[in-house]
């Protein structure tokens, strides 16, 4: 892995933790709403499972990101710096990315509970947002 300045890494982890906690709250609310207010059906089951996965992954991303923030703090003991930093970085990024995919899938699937037209529209919206999410990750910084 490319070594990053600890202050920079801590700032990124702080942002991931903040976004994950907000989006995790949304995913949990979405999950409970689907669980309580929808009728059984394939689209509902898929949306419920995907929103539950998103909520769990966002929780994991928050925990891993907080570990990175703690580990990169200037006052942290040296043993903390070395022990879990790489593992927590990987978990934070993978959990956050997986949660984004799961939440987009849940949003896309939820429209199919209403009608084919709404299903197509929500699936298109989810697909476009995933494309934009992935494309921003693939852009390399200017040299």
Q: How do residues 1-49 score in pLDDT, each as one tens digit?
A: 567 787 888 898 999 999 999 999 999 999 999 889 888 889 999 999 9
pLDDT of residue 142: 54
Which uninterrupted H or E stretch holds 113?
none
Dihedral Cα 126, 130, 132, 134, nearest 10 deg: 180
Query: What's this model's pTM, rounded to 2 decimal places?
Result: 0.86
pLDDT of residue 17: 94
pLDDT of residue 143: 46
- Count of CB atoms within 10 A of residue 123's CB? 18
Would you kindly state where each structural domain of the chain is located, as residue ranges? 6-136
């Amino acid at each position: 892995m490319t070594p990053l300045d600890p202050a920079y890494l801590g700032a990124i982890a702080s942002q991931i933790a903040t976004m994950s906690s907000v989006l995790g709250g949304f995913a949990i609310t979405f999950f409970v709403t689907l669980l309580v207010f929808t009728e059984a059906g394939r689209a509902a089951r898929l949306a419920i499972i995907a929103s539950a996965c998103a909520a769990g992954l966002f929780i994991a991303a928050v925990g891993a990101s907080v570990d990175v923030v703690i580990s990169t703090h200037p006052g942290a003991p040296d043993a903390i710096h070395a022990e879990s930093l790489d593992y927590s970085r990987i978990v934070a990024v993978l959990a956050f990315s997986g949660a984004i995919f799961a939440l987009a899938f849940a949003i896309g699937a939820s429209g199919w509970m209403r009608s084919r037209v709404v299903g197509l529209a929500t699936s298109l919206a989810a697909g476009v947002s995933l494309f934009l999410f992935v494309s921003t990750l693939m852009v390399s910084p200017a040299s």
